[in-house]
């Protein structure tokens, strides 16, 4: 059977450039296409599907966060194929965390694969992982700082991340184990700011097969087999047991649950955004929230408002226990004193308000209307 071709290209051109189109390769490309098409310049629509030999140098740029593993490598290959057809430029960012011997060589190899795929520019960012908050959190913080900087320096329209359906299922299970609420169980968003995750509906096995079918050799991170990491234990032990005992399709069911919870979370956030200016007043070194409005709302909305205010004003995330303690200043007031929260934030009941500040001041300032 001759190689499958895209509309508008010859079999000879397709054969010289890529292997036969297989279902795994098609699945990954389709997922990437769904994210890239909305970013395409208007003039690219008419040429969609035609072979594009050259993309304008001022076309919008998308960057792939490339580790060299099968997920990000399959994503990079699909993006290299789909981006020109959407009138977009495509590049890559390789982040070297420096956590393993030979990490620089691994990063250089991934960068070389990106260039062979036709991605340009290809950036290699070396980061320092300080270990604060644990190795996973510290590495993640350093990685996203490097990706943010790469996106700013190249004026990228979007950064594509290689998280798969399996990653999403693992995230939901970890959130469930931590008891961290619906926002955590909602998992990773498909789009958040400059970041997009095209492969959240694609299984990890598909990306592995896509790489094999394309003749790409991914790097296998030894950390992904280290049981000292909770995510690895969920991947290698917990999910297989659930599949064996409850039947196949557990990962997909977890992802469907995440999608439903994210819809709920987005609805709550939209409601809070509408309320927030009406219920808050400026306070010295902080912000004051109306007790009357907090008391009048259901517990779910009241507690989300508290978390939203603390998060947006001070960049601090509250646990459920801490959130409930703040809520008691509204619902179970009996003269208790200020609450000290993470990040040097203090919550105090003062008259008709709960005041959040960094200095302990409870003075509510006049609001400019």
Where residue 120 sits, what CATH number does that domain have? 3.40.50.620
Residue 362's pLDDT is 61
CA distance 158 to 192: 10
For residue 272, is it within any domain?
A: no
Tokens of 104: 């620089």
Picking from 198, 223, 258, the residue at the C-terminal end of a domain is: 258
Task: State the pairing for strand pair 158-160/89-96.
Answer: unpaired
pLDDT, one tens digit per residue, over 33-49 is: 999 999 998 755 545 55
Tokens of 15: 């054969």
User: Do residue 194 and residue 153 come from a single domain?
Assistant: yes
φ/ψ of 153, rounded to 5, equals: -70, -25
Task: Check the annotation: does 70 bind a ligand.
Answer: yes
User: Do residue 308 and residue 176 come from a single domain?
Assistant: no
pLDDT band for position 369 (cuts 50, 70, 90): very low
Residue 4's pLDDT is 45
Task: Check the annotation: does 71 bind a ligand.
Answer: yes
pLDDT at 11 over 70: no
Task: Check the annotation: does 23 bind a ligand.
Answer: no
More confident residue, 4 or 351: 351
Task: Check the annotation: does 343 bind a ligand.
Answer: no
pLDDT, one tens digit per residue, over 100-146 is: 778 899 999 999 999 999 999 999 999 888 767 677 778 888 899 99
pLDDT band for position 19 (cuts 50, 70, 90): low
Residue 43's pLDDT is 59
User: Do residue 253 and residue 293 come from a single domain?
Assistant: no
pLDDT at 228 over 90: no
For residue 341, is it within any domain?
A: yes
pLDDT band for position 364 (cuts 50, 70, 90): low
pLDDT at 251 over 90: yes
For residue 364, is it within any domain?
A: no
pLDDT band for position 10 (cuts 50, 70, 90): very low
User: Do residue 138 and residue 226 come from a single domain?
Assistant: yes
CA distance 260 to 172: 12
Q: Model's pTM, two decimal places?
A: 0.79
Picking from 258, 275, 306, the residue at the C-terminal end of a domain is: 258
Question: Based on the number of CB atoms within 10 Å of its own CB, is 26 exposed (0-12), middle (13-18) or buried (19 or more)?
Answer: middle
User: Do residue 198 and residue 137 come from a single domain?
Assistant: yes
Q: How far is CA 349 from CA 132, 279, 327, 344, in A?
A: 33, 15, 10, 17
pLDDT band for position 28 (cuts 50, 70, 90): very high
For residue 158, is it within any domain?
A: yes
More confident residue, 359 or 151: 151
User: Do residue 327 and residue 226 come from a single domain?
Assistant: no
pLDDT band for position 178 (cuts 50, 70, 90): confident
Domain count, the chain: 2
Task: Lowest mean pLDDT of 11-20, 70-79, 191-200, 237-246, name the range.
Answer: 11-20
The 3-class SS string of 133-165 reads CCHHHHHHHHHHHHHHHHHHHHCCCEEECCCCH
User: Do residue 242 and residue 310 come from a single domain?
Assistant: no
Q: Which domain holds residue 304?
A: 284-357
User: Do residue 183 and residue 319 come from a single domain?
Assistant: no
For residue 325, is it within any domain?
A: yes
Average pLDDT, the chain: 86
Terminus-to-terminus CA distance in the chain, angstroms?
Answer: 71
- Identify the sign of the CA torsion 303, 259, 159, 270: negative
Residue 274's pLDDT is 81
For residue 1, is it within any domain?
A: no
Picking from 240, 258, 276, the residue at the C-terminal end of a domain is: 258
For residue 369, is it within any domain?
A: no
User: Do residue 224 and residue 294 come from a single domain?
Assistant: no
For residue 273, is it within any domain?
A: no
User: Do residue 206 and residue 308 come from a single domain?
Assistant: no
pLDDT at 207 over 50: yes
User: Do residue 119 and residue 38 come from a single domain?
Assistant: yes
> Span 296-315, mean pLDDT?
90
pLDDT band for position 82 (cuts 50, 70, 90): very high
Highest average pLDDT, of 30-34, 123-127, 222-226, 343-347, comes from: 30-34
User: Do residue 150 and residue 213 come from a single domain?
Assistant: yes
Residue 365's pLDDT is 57
Task: Check the annotation: does 68 bind a ligand.
Answer: yes
Task: Check the annotation: does 69 bind a ligand.
Answer: yes
CATH number, domain of 352, equals 3.30.465.60
Task: Lowest mean pLDDT of 73-77, 90-94, 227-231, 365-369, name the range.
Answer: 365-369
pLDDT at 174 over 80: yes
């Amino acid at each position: 059977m001759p190689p499958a071709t895209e509309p508008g290209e010859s079999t000879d051109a397709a054969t010289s450039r890529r292997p036969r189109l297989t279902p795994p390769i098609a699945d990954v490309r389709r997922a990437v296409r769904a994210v890239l098409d909305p970013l395409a310049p208007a003039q690219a629509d008419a040429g969609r599907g035609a072979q594009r030999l050259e993309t304008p140098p001022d076309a919008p740029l998308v960057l792939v966060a490339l580790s060299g593993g099968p997920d990000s490598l399959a994503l990079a290959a699909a993006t290299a194929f789909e981006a020109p057809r959407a009138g977009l430029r495509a590049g890559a960012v390789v982040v070297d965390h420096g956590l393993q011997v030979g990490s620089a060589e691994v990063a250089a190899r991934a960068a070389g694969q990106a260039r062979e795929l036709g991605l340009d520019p290809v950036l290699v960012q070396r980061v320092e992982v300080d270990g604060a908050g644990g190795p996973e959190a510290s590495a993640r913080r350093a990685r996203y700082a490097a990706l943010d900087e790469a996106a700013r320096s190249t004026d990228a329209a979007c950064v594509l991340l290689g998280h798969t359906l399996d990653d999403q299922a693992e995230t939901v299970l970890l959130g469930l184990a931590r008891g961290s609420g619906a926002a955590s169980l909602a998992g990773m968003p498909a789009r958040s700011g400059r970041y997009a995750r095209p492969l959240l509906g694609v299984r990890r096995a598909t990306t592995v097969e896509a790489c094999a079918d394309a003749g790409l050799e991914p790097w296998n991170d030894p950390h992904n087999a280290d049981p000292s990491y909770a995510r690895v234990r969920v991947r290698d032990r917990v999910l297989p047991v659930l599949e064996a005992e409850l039947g196949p399709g557990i990962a997909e069911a977890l992802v469907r649950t995440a999608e439903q919870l994210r819809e709920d979370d987005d609805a709550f956030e939209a409601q809070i955004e509408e309320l927030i200016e009406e219920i808050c007043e400026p306070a010295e070194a902080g912000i004051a929230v109306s007790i009357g409005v907090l008391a009048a709302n259901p517990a779910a909305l009241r507690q989300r408002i508290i978390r939203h205010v603390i998060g947006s004003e001070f960049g601090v995330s509250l646990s459920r226990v801490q959130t409930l303690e703040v809520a008691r200043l509204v619902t179970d007031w009996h003269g208790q004193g200020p609450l000290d929260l993470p990040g040097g934030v203090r919550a105090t009941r003062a008259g008709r308000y709960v005041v959040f500040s960094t200095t302990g001041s409870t003075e509510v300032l006049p609001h400019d209307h």
